[in-house]
Amino acid sequence: WELLGLKEPSLYTVKAILILDNDGDRLFAKYYDDTYPSVKEQKAFEKNIFNKTHRTDSEIALLEGLTVVYKSSIDLYFYVIGSSYENELMLMAVLNCLFDSLSQMLRKNVEKRALLENMEGLFLAVDEIVDGGVILESDPQQVVHRVALRGEDVPLTEQTVSQVLQSAKEQIKWSLLR
């Protein structure tokens, strides 16, 4: 493979999933490898990606040697990032699944305020779609169903702030233990 200039096929398709607001500030970011090891490098990459994409109508960009697929909705920008040799259709499937899952969970109200009120649902959805960079699911119906089960069938809007904080603490604890 290497002699032909081809990369060995890998299940580790996704390098990062980002959601930025319409100022280019991070609302959600999950990096699955050490392409950008520090928060400072991540934020610089996010600014660069936003500046290159927020005024365009296209859905794909090559940036810093990475393939970036993206879409916007009202005041949100969604990005799925893979390596330069990654199949754009695979990355687009992840992007569409995330967007469609959130659209269902937020009752088609995919905008910043609604997303911020439902961060736990976002975390759960992303974990159902991608795990460690490996794509697990691309069917939004399945994702929404599993998130509902994991949320113990409590509508996201009825969850208390303390439940959301507790879930965030658990997420952080598990990410540190990995």
The Cα–Cα gap between 67 and 113 comes to 29
Q: CA-CA-CA-CA torsion for 165, 132, 72, 47, nearest 10 degrees? A: 90
Name the pTM for this structure: 0.80
In order along its 178 residues, the chain shows pLDDT tens digits of 455 555 666 788 999 999 999 999 999 999 999 999 999 999 999 999 999 998 887 899 999 999 999 999 999 999 999 998 889 999 999 999 999 999 999 999 899 999 999 999 999 999 999 999 999 999 999 999 999 887 665 555 555 666 677 777 777 777 676 5
Q: Which residues contact 44 (CB under 8 A, 6 or more apart)?
A: none
- Under CATH, which number does the domain 11-177 receive? 3.30.450.60
Q: Give me the residue spans of the domains in the chain.
A: 11-177
Phi and psi, residue 123, nearest 5°: -60, -45
